[in-house]
Amino acid sequence: MADLYASVRYLKGIGEARAKQLAALGIETVYDLIAYFPRTYEDRTRLVPISELQVDEPACFRAMVTSHPQTHHIRKGLDLTKISVTDESARLRLTFFNQKYAADNLEYGKEYYFYGTLTGDYSGYGMTNPVFEDVEKPGVLTRRIMPIYSLTAGLNNNFVARSVAQALALCGDSLPELLPLALRRQYGLCDTAFAYANIHQPSSFEALEQARNRLIFEEFFVFSLGLGLMRGRRAQKGRQPFANLDLAPFRAALPFTLTGAQERALADICRDLGSGRVMNRMLQGDVGSGKTAVAAAAAYLAAKNGVQTALMAPTEILAEQHAKSLAQLLAPLRVSVSLLTGSMSAPKKREAREAIASHRADLVVGTHALISESTAFANLGLVVADEQHRFGVAQRAALAEKGENPHLLVMSATPIPRTLALILYGDLDISVMDELPPGRQTIDTFLVGETMRARINAFIRKQVAEGHQCYIVCPAIEEGESESLRSAEAWAETLQSTVFPDLRVALLHGRMKGPEKEAVMARFARHEADILVSTTVIEVGVDVPNATLMIIENADRFGLSQLHQLRGRVGRGKDKSYCVLFTDNRNPETLQRLKALCKTNDGFEISRQDLALRGPGDFFGTRQSGLPAFKVGSLQMDLQTLQNAQSAAAEFLASQELSLRAEYAPLMDRIRTLFADRELALN
């Protein structure tokens, strides 16, 4: 038995140079080596008669040497050794380049196992530099499932395989078992030693499958436990329970009746706020499901219980809109609302900050940057983050640090399946709003090509003539950003000057200054413009109920969920609304993706399809996703295992064995290491 965490240099054949190369792969200790799993496998178990070897297909065969090696010195640095081998089916010529020493080991008249790739040209078939092994000795490079590792310059696969084998032989027995026996029994999982041995040197494909299963489960289990622990720790943080949970005045002031889904979410929230522990809740609801009203109710309760609320919006436009509509709703209830955005004038900002610091403001609406960085609250008790599927675990953890353990409510308009929600938001409790306010009509969605341009323009005219407004979303801001993409600036100009000279066309994009954007949005909201040509800055949250038509140019450039978000900008009032997706893309997959959007208005269904089509990485955007990179498990392929691991983790946490039993120390260590890598503190 040897130390798992000893340097790899402890192993035979690994000196300073090799150790450096391994370090480039992130391998420093013997354990790192053992935890460096193959990227794929080559089946060398099947023996093929020489006559059945296929060109360019590597294969194993058994053959007898039927000639003495002949070495030719071609030129300096190039030796060529030839030798013939035969089995019952055929003869084959082998060529070794600069491997005289190897070829010399082949004895005339003896049998060997070979592994190599058949090549063929006008001069006949042959094989170059096959590996071979004595028939008497156990197979290392032949007759087995060969692990193939990701490599870096200077390292070859055999070296890594051999080093791993050595590490396993030395330390395989000291690998800690992370999964309790009962759990392994329940889910039919093999033990650690078997799993590591067979992920590297599978004795059969069944054994490999068992090993993979176990390691995938372990990976998901450890991650889920970590998130669960984080949730638990945060929930342990105490807060004076809100004494006043009376929402009657709030309900009376609302211009509508809350939906059942809103009521259920609010009940969850009230339970949290009255519990004496800190709330950590994700509110998930489709576009237009009315999350703002729920947030407003929570802010109302916070104010009535003497603490301040910070509502953080992803864009200034949205912050301004929220501030305005929330002030309208809450001011009569004597809850004062302040706005704080980067583009406000210095005196206005100072005024807002003073109101916040002196607790004259009960609810502060602003962009993330402003609120999370430099703003001092008199008594912050609730943080609401809006539309944040782009919000990672670490950012949430940072938020929770603000103020004295404020309650946290995160609102997301990207409905995702529960399993994935648990991966992304496993540190939060989740409320789902799966119901839209009554009277919402479905938005008729059409997929069209350029040939329909004139008819769609006529349709815009008709909507405007009926007193409605229209959004046109372009993927680019300026002309020339990309050859084939419609740009908002140029298109707005064209529409105004030639297509709709008699209508009022406005332009909005992300490079405009804050006050400019604000002015444009305000004008559109006041119906002083008929058509708003925009980039995706209007993707989230913007609420102009009179807008009934959403047109999206180069629709193939957007993800399904993003298109669904954009479409959600219309259909917010009582009038029939429409969405038109322009594309001239002929790719059948792309068209299938876009047609999915025409068939349904259900965000959950759309995200399910989007996920299936693009995979979680693309779906969330790789960088911003906060999605962990799993080593063996795949969020796409191994959903069932993920579900099992999640429920196992939940049960395990509920049984509270983790903190009590010394035998779980390795498991805790693994969790800590995992979350330390993510720059998250677990304590």
Nearer to ligand ADP, 294 or 645 (CB): 294
Compose the 383-422 pattern: x for residues touching ligand ADP by CB under 6 A, - for all others. ------------------------------x---------
- Report what 572 binds from ligand ADP, Mg ion, none; CB cut-off 5-8 Å by kind: ligand ADP
The token duo for 193 is 């030693």
Nearer to Mg ion, 228 or 541 (CB): 541
- Helix or strand (DSSP H, E) at 201: none
The token duo for 670 is 């693994």
Residue nearest to Mg ion (CB): 541
- Report what 263 binds from Mg ion, ligand ADP, none; CB cut-off 5-8 Å by kind: none
- Tell me if 400 sits within 8 A of 234, measured CB to CB: yes
- In the set 280, 292, 412, 445, which binds ligand ADP (CB under 6 A)? 292
Q: Tell me how far, at minimum, the Cβ of 258 lies from ligand ADP, in Å.
A: 5
C-alpha to C-alpha distances, 280 to 146, 430, 522, nearest whole angstrom: 47, 9, 34
Look at strands 111-121 and 58-65 and give their pairing: antiparallel
Compose the 208-247 pattern: x for residues touching ligand ADP by CB under 6 A, - for all others. ----------------------------------------
Q: Tell me how far, at minimum, the Cβ of 28 lies from ligand ADP, in Å.
A: 48
Does position 314 bind ligand ADP by CB under 6 A? no
Place of tokens 């259909």: 571
Does position 256 bind ligand ADP by CB under 6 A? yes
- In the set 166, 201, 213, 262, which binds ligand ADP (CB under 6 A)? 262
Compose the 497-536 pattern: x for residues touching Mg ion by CB under 5 A, - for all others. ----------------------------------------
User: Amino acid identity of 339?
Assistant: L
- Report what 567 binds from Mg ion, ligand ADP, none; CB cut-off 5-8 Å by kind: none
Closest CA to 537 of 272, 251, 320: 320
Does position 288 bind ligand ADP by CB under 6 A? yes
- Report what 548 binds from ligand ADP, Mg ion, none; CB cut-off 5-8 Å by kind: none
Compose the 541-560 pattern: x for residues touching Mg ion by CB under 5 A, - for all others. x-------------------
- Restricted to residues 38-57, the positions that interact with ligand ADP (CB under 6 A) are none
Compose the 609-638 pattern: x for residues touching ligand ADP by CB under 6 A, - for all others. ------------------------------
Q: Tell me how far, at minimum, the Cβ of 287 lies from Mg ion, in Å.
A: 8
Stretch that binds ligand ADP, among 2-10, 250-258, 514-522, 669-677 (CB under 6 A): 250-258
Closest CA to 507 of 516, 271, 286: 516
Burial class of residue 476 in the structure, from the number of CB atoms within 10 Å of its CB (0-12 exposed, 13-18 middle, 19+ buried): buried
Does position 437 bind ligand ADP by CB under 6 A? yes
Three-state DSSP at 205 gives: helix
Stretch that binds ligand ADP, among 7-15, 187-195, 287-295, 358-366 (CB under 6 A): 287-295
Three-state DSSP at 291 gives: helix
Listed in sequence order, the residues at least 6 apart from 124 whose beta carbon sits closer than 8 Å to its beta carbon are 93
Which bin fits 387, alpha (ψ -120 to 50), beta or left (φ > 0)?
Answer: left
The token duo for 591 is 């068209």
- Report what 314 binds from ligand ADP, Mg ion, none; CB cut-off 5-8 Å by kind: none
How many CB atoms neighbour CB 81 within 10 A?
21
Q: Tell me how far, at minimum, the Cβ of 615 lies from ligand ADP, in Å.
A: 26
Dist CA 118 CA 116 (whole Å):
7
- In the set 116, 130, 172, 290, which binds ligand ADP (CB under 6 A)? 290
The token duo for 214 is 């176990």
Place of tokens 């302040």: 338
Our CA angle for 188, 229, 666, nearest 5°, is: 55
Q: Tell me how far, at minimum, the Cβ of 387 lies from Mg ion, in Å.
A: 6
- Tell me if 471 sits within 8 A of 534, measured CB to CB: yes
Q: Tell me how far, at minimum, the Cβ of 420 lies from ligand ADP, in Å.
A: 20
For residue 340, the number of C-alpha atoms closer than 13 Å in the C-beta half-sphere is 31
Q: Tell me how far, at minimum, the Cβ of 645 lies from ligand ADP, in Å.
A: 31
Nearer to ligand ADP, 297 or 488 (CB): 297
Stretch that binds ligand ADP, among 28-36, 456-464, 541-549, 650-658 (CB under 6 A): 541-549
- In the set 8, 170, 197, 258, which binds ligand ADP (CB under 6 A)? 258
Nearer to ligand ADP, 211 or 311 (CB): 311
Q: Tell me how far, at minimum, the Cβ of 298 lies from ligand ADP, in Å.
A: 13
The conformation of residue 556, written as its DSSP 8-state character, comes to G
C-alpha to C-alpha distances, 67 to 92, 116, 317, 382, 430, nearest whole angstrom: 11, 19, 82, 84, 73
Nearer to ligand ADP, 49 or 573 (CB): 573
Q: Tell me how far, at minimum, the Cβ of 459 lies from ligand ADP, in Å.
A: 24
- Report what 204 binds from ligand ADP, Mg ion, none; CB cut-off 5-8 Å by kind: none
The token duo for 373 is 């960085």
Closest CA to 245 of 300, 326, 292: 300
- In the set 572, 579, 642, 671, which binds ligand ADP (CB under 6 A)? 572
Three-state secondary structure readout of 350-385:
HHHHHHHHCCCCCEEEEEHHHHHCCCCCCCEEEEEE
Size of residue set near Mg ion by CB under 5 A: 1
Look at strands 280-285 and 407-412 and give their pairing: parallel
- Report what 437 binds from Mg ion, ligand ADP, none; CB cut-off 5-8 Å by kind: ligand ADP
Number of continuous H segments (helices) and E segments (strands) in the chain = 23, 22
Three-state secondary structure readout of 636-663:
CCCHHHHHHHHHHHHHHHHHCCCCCCHH
Dist CA 601 CA 603 (whole Å):
6
Q: Tell me how far, at minimum, the Cβ of 302 lies from ligand ADP, in Å.
A: 18
Does position 293 bind ligand ADP by CB under 6 A? yes
Nearer to Mg ion, 226 or 541 (CB): 541
Nearer to Mg ion, 147 or 541 (CB): 541
Size of residue set near ligand ADP by CB under 6 A: 19
For residue 211, the number of C-alpha atoms closer than 13 Å in the C-beta half-sphere is 19
- Report what 298 binds from Mg ion, ligand ADP, none; CB cut-off 5-8 Å by kind: none
Q: Tell me how far, at minimum, the Cβ of 325 lies from Mg ion, in Å.
A: 10
- In the set 285, 381, 403, 633, which binds ligand ADP (CB under 6 A)? 285
The token duo for 77 is 């640095």
Our CA angle for 250, 255, 257, nearest 5°, is: 75
Residue nearest to ligand ADP (CB): 290
- Report what 475 binds from ligand ADP, Mg ion, none; CB cut-off 5-8 Å by kind: none
- In the set 53, 287, 424, 581, which binds ligand ADP (CB under 6 A)? 287
State the Cα torsion 651-655-656-660 to the nearest 10°. Answer: -130
User: Amino acid identity of 625?
Assistant: S
- Tell me if 427 sits within 8 A of 408, measured CB to CB: no
Burial class of residue 434 in the structure, from the number of CB atoms within 10 Å of its CB (0-12 exposed, 13-18 middle, 19+ buried): middle
Residues that bind Mg ion (CB under 5 A): 541
Residues that bind ligand ADP (CB under 6 A): 256-259, 262, 285, 287-293, 413, 437, 541, 543, 545, 572
